[in-house]
Amino acid sequence: MARRQRDLNAHHDPATAQLLKDLDQARNDLLAAESSSSQKTGGPERVSAARSRMESIEHSLAERSAALRADERIYEATTEDVRHSLPEHSVLISYVLFRQRAVDRLDPTLGDTLSYVAFVLHPDSDRIRIFNLGDAASADNQVKKMRAAANAEARSGGLGSTRNERAYRDAALGLRQRIWDPLKAELSHARLALVVADGSLNLVPFAGLPDGSGYLVEHGPVIHMLTSERDLVPADQGPKKLGLLAIGGPSFELAENKPPPSPLRGANPTCDALSQIEFQPLPGAAYEVADVGSSWMRWNAAEPAQLVTGDDAALARFLSDSVHSRVLHIATHAFLLDKSCDDDNPLLHSGLVFAGGSHGGAQSTVTAEQIASLDLSGVDWAVLSACNTGNGELRNGEGVLGLQRAFRVAGAHSVVMTLWPVDDNVTRQFMHDLYAERLGRHATTAEAVWNSSRKVLLDRRAAGKSTHPWYWAGFVGSGGWE
């Protein structure tokens, strides 16, 4: 998808432009058909027809893409190319979920076992170290328990934080001992650990793994996530773009009767309920946009800044202006549909909500697949300040198919995402620190996210507040680490 989209974006011929326009309309038709399929006669037939139309257009686009000359360099990258692209004092850790075959002759009944293995590469050595981390089921179960403890804190309203943090630490400690501790000797001289995850490890905030009485974010190397080892190989980012588009705090309900504010920035509706859901206001998101704009003007006034909130924070504004900006900051509700939605396309299951989103349907929401079709080459940063923007459907060997992947496919160099529901006000604080690190202290993406998470943790500890990782560890950088 990323390769095809880059080819199509680089060749702006009228026929391709029309096909891309038709594809957007076909996606909207499919979303509308799915949302009404259970209420109207002939709903399944409408869904089938809309899906066939979309697949037909995608086939035509794929044929046009194959006829275009593509830059093969990044796809032909070798292990040596990756190693030479590693920065000094770093280490690359690639987790792989694989099927381990039992070969014990004494027990031929033993079958295959899903297991994790870690491949470790250093910039000053061509030797790849391999660590068998054992069966995946127990590690995946610890990830599940850890995330359940984070969700419990999200729903608790601040009650039972000590119990929730203890449950989190118990699960996360077992996970750390399984997937991180065996690699400790490889990390002794590293200042930066670049991690490619697989399976449910894509949903682990490594900064929030326990270490002594604290967490990894307080010790050891900075940890940054890659979607692929190839993220390290320099690629043509396309034409240089300038400026900031900060869009957030939309007026979800444009009528007079507005619901009360929401503490969280996301929703997990059923397939049929998306067009009926009432998204609650996010006052912290509007303040966040203003704060990001102030940081931009203080440290980067040479580039323009667009700050868009309220009724102006509409889908049309996002679609038209995002393709021209170097930094995208989006502070709003995200939605994540259940994987049971019957369309076989996980990029239709997640998206972002803009002005008029309550009952607004396709006119106010954008899916991950629509985002993937945008031309975001030249976007250095895409900051997705909403719930679960790093979540989606897990595909072994593919990672998470959702919003983060969509922005990367569209061409964004680095994405700052969230791995679980985030609090409106805490997110605003994190984002303030993030831009101070990036613009004021000229930190890399990896350092800016890592240092901001640590600062939120230390500030909460100093104030006597809960240090549960739910408040600070869910913010993760992915893609380019620079």
pLDDT tens sequence across 88-131: 999 999 999 998 775 555 555 556 789 999 999 999 999 999 99
Residue 460 lies in a domain: no
Sort 417 into a burial class: Cβ within 10 Å, 0-12 / 13-18 / 19+: buried
Same domain, 200 and 297: no
What is the C-alpha radius of gyration for the chain, rounded to an integer number of angstroms?
A: 22
Chain centroid to CA 66:
28
Same domain, 201 and 257: no
Residue 23 lies in a domain: yes
Q: Is 442 left (phi over 0), alpha (psi -120 to 50) or beta?
A: left
Question: Strand runs (DSSP E) across 283-395, as ranges?
Answer: 305-310, 327-331, 334-336, 350-353, 365-367, 381-385, 392-395
Beta bridge partners of residue 311, listed in sequence order:
none
Amino acid, res. 356: G
What is the C-alpha separation between 390 and 388, in angstroms, rounded?
5
131-135, 290-294, 335-339, 446-450: lowest mean pLDDT where? 335-339
Same domain, 199 and 271: no
Q: 21-76 pLDDT, tens per residue?
A: 787 788 777 767 766 655 555 667 887 888 888 888 877 877 766 555 444 555 57
**Residue 264 belongs to domain spanning:** 244-442
Same domain, 86 and 44: no
Average pLDDT, the chain: 85
Show which of 209, 232, 255 is a domain's final residue. Answer: 232
Q: Which residue has better confidence, 325 or 268?
A: 325
Residue 466 lies in a domain: no
**97 contacts 202 by C-beta, under 8 angstroms:** no
DSSP code per residue over 15-81: HHHHHHHHHHHHHHHHHHHHHHTTTSTTHHHHHHHHHHHHHHHHHHHHHHHHHS----GGGG--HHH
Tokens at 184, concatenated: 């400790």
Please give the biggest Cα pair distance in the chain: 74
Q: Which residue has better confidence, 344 or 436?
A: 436
Task: Give every CB contact of residue 38 below 8 A, 6+ residues apart in sequence.
Answer: 272
210 three-state secondary structure: strand
Same domain, 81 and 63: no
Q: Which residue has better confidence, 158 or 290?
A: 290
Same domain, 350 and 432: yes
Question: Strand runs (DSSP E) across 182-304, as ranges?
Answer: 192-196, 210-211, 214-215, 222-226, 244-250, 266-267
Residue 300 lies in a domain: yes
Nearest to 197 by CA among 346, 372, 388, 395: 395
Residue 239 lies in a domain: no
- Domains: count for the chain: 3
Q: What sign for the dihedral angle of Cα 10, 16, 21, 26?
A: negative
Same domain, 48 and 177: no
In this prediction the pTM is 0.84
Residue 470 lies in a domain: no
DSSP code per residue over 382-414: EEEESTTTT-EEEETTTEEEEHHHHHHHHT-SE
What is the C-alpha separation between 315 and 352, in angstroms, rounded?
9
pLDDT classification of 335: cutoffs 50, 70, 90: confident
Percentage with pLDDT > 90 across the chain: 56
Instruction: Name the helix (H) or strand (E) containing 445.
Output: helix 445-462
Kindly state the DSSP code that residue 477 receives in the 8-state scheme. Answer: E
Task: Give every CB contact of residue 81 below 8 A, 6+ residues apart in sequence.
Answer: 233
Show which of 204, 232, 260 is a domain's final residue. Answer: 232
Show which of 10, 36, 70 is a domain's final residue. Answer: 70
